[in-house]
Amino acid sequence: MQTLIPLPVTAIAHPKGRRLGRLLGFGATPRLLLLLAASILLSIPAFLASRTPWLMFGFDALLLGAFVVDALLLPAPERFELTRRFLHAPELGTPIAIELQATKSAVGIHKLRFTDDLHASMLFSEAIGTAVSYPSEPSKVEYVATPSQRGDLALGKLYFRYRSAIGFAERWAVADLRQTIRVFAAGEQANESSELFLLRARQIELEKRRLRRIGLGREFEQLRDYRIGDELRNISWKATARHNRLITLQFTTERSQQVWIVLDAGRLSRTTFALEKALAVNGEGDATQIVTQLDQAASAAGQLARVIQQSGDRSALLTYGRSVQQQLLPSSGTLHLRRMIDALSQVRSETAEADHLMASVRLRQLQRRRGLVLWITEMTESAGRPEIVTAVSALVRRHLVVLVLLQQPELEALASSSPKNAHEMYAITAAQEMLDRRRTLLAQLRSQGVLVVETNAANVAADSISKYLEVKSQGQL
């Protein structure tokens, strides 16, 4: 989405440093230092004639004079206008291209080198290069950074150095390009799998249109002659006057359903794992990225919201920990989708257990009519009945609930292993008991009408969307 790309920032450069540094913001280049070091060779004839050292000193004085002249001829930093521009929407774990542009209102050809002060969570995948600046012609440098944190990130100033073609002196300057960008959950940009889901959503919507039923809804269908038993409020008096006979408005049942996406941002959502992800910008092959379960759940929610909108339904969002973090009522359209993506970028994991009962009560208050609830969470192990089971059991009496549970692969691996000693035997037995108890609880939920989807953090988006499309195609809601 084009609107997710941060706006470009432009500023006039100024000298770097304070007081004396702003006046003497110059430095010697490696070229000058190398020539000064080479001038030591001119001291070798001093062993044969006592006056020859003046040859070395004269050469050094010539170089220093050239340095002073070169420094004085460099344009003032105020003659440079700098711009930072993002070429892609910032996504978690996705390389994004950033373009730096410098426009100079001075004569001469100068070589520029930039240092951008990015947020610590934006990892560089390649170094920033240099650019050659010509009079009144923009010079551009493009580099790639990879955000490793969702939400609002503060970017700092842009530092740069420039030198003339002689290259004896260089000047230091800075441009105030401070800005705040928003990094969204991964998966906001289109990929092959999301396109397939959107295509399937369009097919289901077309099928629903063909099979829509004529009923007591309030969506206009057509005009027809009045029949005995029709309600008087449905008579179209304008059409009746035109045709000189009673004409009735005919409606269809509402086809748009309300779908709530519920995200658990409690303690277990902080669990991290390694995810293999293909590089998207100026990269080849795959890269290993460390993400949290909440990052993957937020990404799944963003992709799911787009499929829901394409299916003709209205999406809503509720994210919670000990309290509600983000809440969006059911709606549709591009603006609503943008608000949901913004809200998902602001979700943060909490250190305490999430209050599932509070979330269930809030849902029942916000959603009075029957709707679909897609609840992404993880079942914690407790001495009594897990709170999420009680919360979902209360919710399924009115709504159709799809409970997306994130599995614990390390627990299943431990339960299926063979013990080598008594300590491992106790650990394996405990793991098997936990899994047996989990299967019993899930069987109880399924018997109550809850649709349970067991998946892992890497596949939560695909499995959640597939289950929603299955519910949609079968007309279970």
Question: What is the predicted pLDDT for the residue at 49?
Answer: 61
Is residue 196 in a domain? Answer: no
208 within a domain of the structure (yes/no): no
| Residues forming a β-bridge with 130 | 113
C-alpha angle 419/425/426, rounded to 5°? 155
Longest dimension (CA), the chain: 129
Q: Which of 289, 301, 290, 291 is nearest to 325 (CA)?
A: 301
Rounded (10°) CA dihedral 409, 414, 415, 419? 170
Q: Is the dihedral of CA 251, 253, 259, 260 positive or negative?
A: positive
Neighbours of 110 (CB within 10 A): 25
Cα Rg of the chain (Å, integer): 33
Do 313 and 221 lie in a common domain? no
Cβ contact 194:187 at 8 Å: yes
d(CA 184, CA 157): 23
Asked if residue 319 and residue 231 are part of one domain, the reply reads no
Question: Which residue, among 369, 257, 364, has the nearest Cα to 314 in the 3D structure?
Answer: 257
443 and 338 in one domain? Answer: yes
Nearest alpha carbon to residue 328 among 366, 364, 300: 366
Q: Mind listing the pLDDT tens digit for each residue in 40-53?
A: 776 666 666 655 56
Q: What angle do CA 321, 325, 328 make, to 5 degrees?
A: 130
| CATH number of the domain where residue 71 is located | 2.60.40.10
For residue 258, what is the DSSP state?
A: E
The tokens for 60 are 């050094």
234 & 368 share domain: no
3-state secondary structure of 122: strand
Give the integer Cα–Cα distance in Å for 286 and 151. Answer: 24
Looking at the structure, do residues 396 and 446 belong to the same domain, yes or no? yes
Looking at the structure, tell me whether residues 116 and 47 fall in a common domain.
Answer: yes
Say whether both 234 and 367 belong to one domain.
no
CB atoms within 10 A of CB 452: 16
- Is 190 inside any structural domain? no
Please tell me what DSSP assigns to residue 233.
G
Q: Which domain CATH number covers 275?
A: 3.40.50.410
Residues 315 and 222 in one domain: no
Q: Give the end of a domain, one of 254, 281, 309.
A: 254
Residue 76 lies in a domain: yes
Domain with 339, as residue range(s), is 258-474
pTM passes above 0.85: no
- DSSP, collapsed to helix, strand or coil, labels residue 234 as helix
66, part of any domain? yes
Per-residue pLDDT of 80-114, as tens digits, reads 999 999 998 898 888 889 999 999 988 888 899 99
Tell me which of 133, 166, 183 is where a domain ends: 183
**Given the DSSP bridges, would you call strands 324-331 and 179-183 parallel, antiparallel or unpaired?**
unpaired
Domain boundary among 224, 254, 284: 254
Q: Exposed, middle or buried, 366 (CB in 10 Å: 0-12/13-18/19+)?
A: middle
Query: 43 near 53, Cβ under 8 Å?
Result: yes
On the 0-12 / 13-18 / 19+ scale of CB atoms within 10 A, 142 is middle
Is 108 part of any domain?
yes
Distance (Å, whole) CA 98 – CA 373: 39
Q: Residue 186: its pLDDT value, please?
A: 76
Judgement on whether residues 242 and 276 belong to the same structural domain of the protein:
no
CB of 336 closer than 8 Å to CB of 315: yes
Total structural domains within the chain: 3
The CA distance from 96 to 183, in Å, is 11
- Assigned domain for 345 exists: yes
Residue 204 included in any domain = no
Q: Which residues of the chain have pLDDT under 50?
A: 1-2, 188-190, 192, 206, 210-217, 278-285
Strand partners, 14: 174
State whether 229 and 320 are in the same domain: no
Pair (145, 52) in one structural domain: yes
Q: Supply the pLDDT for residue 272.
A: 78
Are residues 342 and 375 both part of a single domain? Answer: yes
